[in-house]
Amino acid sequence: MDIQAILFDFDGTLVDSEVLHYLSWVKVLAPFSIVYSESDFCDEFSGVPTLETAEILRLRHQLPLNAQTLTEQKNQHFVETSKTLPPTLMPNAKAILQESARDFRLALVTGSSRAEAIPVLQHYGLLELFEVVICKEDVENPKPSAEPYLKALKAMQLSAYEAVAMEDSATGLVSAKSAALYCVVIPHQHSEKQDFAQADHRASDLSHAFFHVQSLASHKN
C-alpha cells in the first residue's frame, strides 16, 4: 500500500451525533404518538441511511407520509437543533484530524446532507482540513453503495490502494470495501454488535485507528 489519503466517515466516526439524530426522529414521530427509547432506536438504526430508516418506520407503523417527506422533516429538525446544540466530537477527533492532515490528504465521505455536516465542521474549525467532502446529495446511490467512496477517490485522483477509509458502521464498511478500500472500523456502543467481518482492522478509538494507519504507511509494500 502507498497510503496518501484517509477518507473519514462523519456520524459516529468523527462526531457523536446519534443522540441528535434520535431526537430529530422523536420530533417526526411525536404527532403519531410513536415512542422509542434512545438505546433501542440507536441500536437498530445506527449507520442506516435516513431514507431507509424512514421507509422502515413508515411500513412498520403504517404512517400516512412517504419516506421522502419523513426524511425531509427529520433532516430539518436535525439542522435546526444543531444550530444551538451541535453534536460533540468523538474523543480526540480534532487532534487526530489535525495530525492526520499533516501526513495525509483528507476527505469526508458521509451519508449526511451538506446542511447537516458542513455547519458542524465549521463550528469546530475542521472544514478546511478536508480536501474533498462527499455528502448524500453528491451521489445517486448512498452507502452501502460504493459510489460515495469512488467519487471521493476520483475527485482526489487516487486509486483505492492509495487510501484508507475509517468507518463506525456495517453500512459504511460495506461501502468502503465495495470500493476496494482498506477499511478501519471504530465501533461504538450502538454499532459494536454489527457485522464487521469484512474489516481490515478493528480499532478501539480514533487514536488507535490513526496509529494503525501510520504503521501501514511506514511499511509500504
What does the pLDDT look like over 44-98, one tens digit per residue? Answer: 998 888 999 999 999 999 999 999 999 999 999 999 988 888 899 999 999 999 9
Domain boundaries, given as residue ranges, for the chain: 5-16+87-217, 18-84
Mean pLDDT across the stretch 143-161? 98
The mean predicted confidence, pLDDT, of the chain is 94
CATH of domain 5-16+87-217: 3.40.50.1000
* pLDDT at 72 (0 to 100): 95
Q: What is the pTM of this model?
A: 0.87
Indicate the pLDDT class of residue 220, thresholds 50, 70 and 90: low
Indicate the pLDDT class of residue 19, thresholds 50, 70 and 90: confident
Which one is the CATH code of 18-84: 2.40.160, 1.20.120, 1.10.3470, 1.10.150? 1.10.150
* pLDDT at 221 (0 to 100): 47
Mean pLDDT across the stretch 29-53? 93
Residue 32 has pLDDT above 60, yes or no: yes
* pLDDT at 17 (0 to 100): 87
Cell numbers linked to 91:
474523543
